[in-house]
Amino acid sequence: MLDNLLRPRSVAVIGASTQPGKIGYTVVKNLIEGGYSGRIYPVNPNATELLGLKVYPNVSAIPDTVDAAIITIPAKAVLSAVEECGRKGVKGLIVITSGFSEVGQKDLEEALVATAHRYGMRVLGPNIVGVLSNADRFNGSFAPFLPLPGKASLVSQSGALLIAIDAATFIRRVGFDKLVSIGNMSDVDFADLITWLDQDENTSCISLYIEGFKEGRRFIEAARNAQKPIIALKAGVSAHGAAAAASHTGSLAGAAKVYGAAFQQAGVVQASDLNNLFDRTLALSLQPPMRGDHLLIITNGGGVGVLATDAAEKYGLPLQFAPADLQNELRQYMPEFGSPKNPVDLTGMANSDWYFDAIRHALPHTWVDGLAVLYCETAMTNPQEIAESIKRAVDESGVTNKPVAVSFVGGERSEEAMRWLVEHGIPAYAAPDVAVNALAALREFARNKETLSENFTTCDSNDIERACRIIAHARAEGRDVLTEIEAKEVFAAYNLPVAETRLATSEQEAVRLAHEIGFPVVMKIVSPDIIHKSDAGGVKVNIKDDAGVREAYRTILNNAKSYKPDARIHGIAVQEMAPWGTEVILGSVNDPTFGPTVMFGLGGIFVEVLKDVTFRVAPVSAAQAQRMLDEIRGAPVLAGVRGEGPRDRQALADTICRYATMVLDLADEISESDANPVLVYEVGKGVKVVDARIILKKKPLK
């Protein structure tokens, strides 16, 4: 438990300074001025009194127990202070001091944690601003003041950003109970804090500013287990190094895409920027999840209604007309020239009573999943009266399981009315598109959580030993790239449907194999040094007779030798000519943060140009696999185009799950892989892996 760090009953400030402007002075001052009711013990061997408090020469001199020590002394003195805290029985360390791994002093940081753990202490930091908690009036930081009180809690990897957010809470009307600076994450990390905050009675929503993880899968597990909404803003998502990747997947797997996939699988809502983090946090902390896609918009202005409609389309909540019975009900609360369809336009004549009646009757309707209420300030209405009518209508509707978000467009009176709404539990925004985006966050949270209970596919008859033998053979030859035939054998060990492919080392053998497989056939170069065979002229298709086989054999060999004269050539693959199907790609990378990560997208030779792909961290559930099929821009192709029938989505989703299991099982061996193309046939006819490649990690076989 982290109670001793986040809700300490007593705190020692090691490095408490008598000089204003020093961090040690500011922390003690903040604790006093914040109204902290716990015991405060300043520690400084060169002082006796500070801001009316007795100062102790060292931690050992403190007569009482100490829950947490806030350390502000120079880095070189921290280890001895930690040792002293351990002997004293201090339970947790808040290490504000910088000068550790962030400046290359990794050994010093590891020694800090090792010493703390020897005494059973947890470490928050180092290199942090500190901890702020409204519930306990605890400002154990050098941030200037406690944030605006609210139901959200924020964990930030950036101390400077945490201070900025602290100040901005009063301007943005977004309140927080706790602000926690996490810094270098030497011990306590995001996963620890998510688990603790999920049990915190004063926190209803967990907001995160993230620059990176040390253990990505640990984060996913903690977030998946959390019941409260989590929203994350991920910074630092440039994809340096992707250009050097050998496979298609490696060049397409940017950090932003992989983090986005991990967040979705963990049930985490994403923020696009700092403003969006504020706006979505407000909604997630005040309103319930949106459990369906039916958004109803009520407005007194056509223009803001159109803006909200555009936003709904943009953020994945495209509007539908309200059902006839609801339209008939709503028609009573507007003039003849109003519209009850959706948006529900009460017109500029709308007063507080019309808003009340429309909301009161719309919100309980079974068709409505979420409600956006828009108001343009007019001279005939008082924004405060409109706000109060909205709140009263929501309360009297008796509905507590559907979200409501509001946008008032106007001047100071509208600003005051929106502030009142937020204080009374209804998120309010100055722009209609922002209100819709907030509701989209509530829908995203519900949609993500719906897939978390999905069981992962259990793949029967996987032959991991067979796969490892194939890999071991390649390593024994000093290779870190499997041939296509070897890669397909590994795929087949996981019951992935591969096209029949056999190796020929002479023209005559190629002719014989073509007869055994059956014409027409495909022929390809087999070389561990030529990964992209099409680029080398190493593929010939639709070969129909013996003469074609012989000609293809010679041409492919000549092309390969011209393309890469020193390439090791094992022979020519003779493969069944699979019937035409929709081309897709499966791929994997061993992401440094999250481990084995799977890619899906439209396939073929233009995959790196189109970049129409989506990612998941392995393993992949059946529900997540189905969502992957819908996320690419080319998703309509799988539904059937130009007279073709729908593609076999079930077989494709099952293949994604099996493929994810394979790369997870073989994570210690496989660096990157892809299957491109995978041909997808009509419903009931399955899929076929036509080409496959596997690139091994550059290390000895375990």
Are 134 and 176 in contact, with CB atoms under 8 Å apart?
yes
Sheet holding 571-576, edge to edge: 501-504, 571-576, 521-526, 539-543
What number is the average pLDDT over the span 253-266? 84
How many Cα atoms within 13 Å fall on the side-chain side of residue 292? 14
What percentage of the chain reaches a pLDDT higher than 90? 88
**What b-and-e string marks burial along 498-514, b requiring 16 or more CB atoms within 10 Å of the CB?**
bbebbbbeebebbbbbb
Closest CA to 497 of 677, 618, 247: 677
Considering only the top CATH level, what class is 582-696?
Answer: alpha beta
How do residues 326-370 score in pLDDT, each as one tens digit?
A: 999 999 999 999 999 999 999 999 999 999 999 999 999 999 999
Regarding the domain delimited by 500-577, which CATH topology (the fold level of the hierarchy) does it fall under? Dna Ligase; domain 1 (3.30.1490)
- CA angle, 648 as apex, 461 and 531 as ends, to 5°? 70
**Domain map of the chain by residue range?**
1-129, 294-425, 500-577, 582-696
Three-state DSSP at 586 gives strand
Q: Count the neighbouring beta carbons within 10 Å of the beta carbon of residue 310.
A: 14
What number is the average pLDDT over the span 522-535? 90
How do residues 145-188 score in pLDDT, each as one tens digit?
A: 999 999 999 999 999 999 999 999 999 999 999 999 999 999 99
Percentages of the chain per state (helix, strand, coil), in multiples of 5? 40, 20, 40
Looking at the predicted structure, is the pLDDT value of residue 244 above 50? no
How do residues 555-565 score in pLDDT, each as one tens digit?
A: 999 999 999 99
Considering only the top CATH level, what class is 294-425?
Answer: alpha beta
Asked if omega into 520 is within 30° of 0 (cis), the reply is yes
pLDDT of residue 457: 56
Statement: 1-129 belongs to CATH 3.30.70.260: no
- In angstroms, rounded to a whole number, what is the distance separating the alpha carbons of residues 463 and 493? 5
pLDDT of residue 532: 83
Say whether 294-425 and 1-129 share the same fold: yes
pLDDT of residue 25: 98
Q: Residue 544 — very low, low, confident or very high, per pLDDT cuts 50/70/90?
A: very high
Structure tokens at 83: 């040792």
pLDDT of residue 243: 37
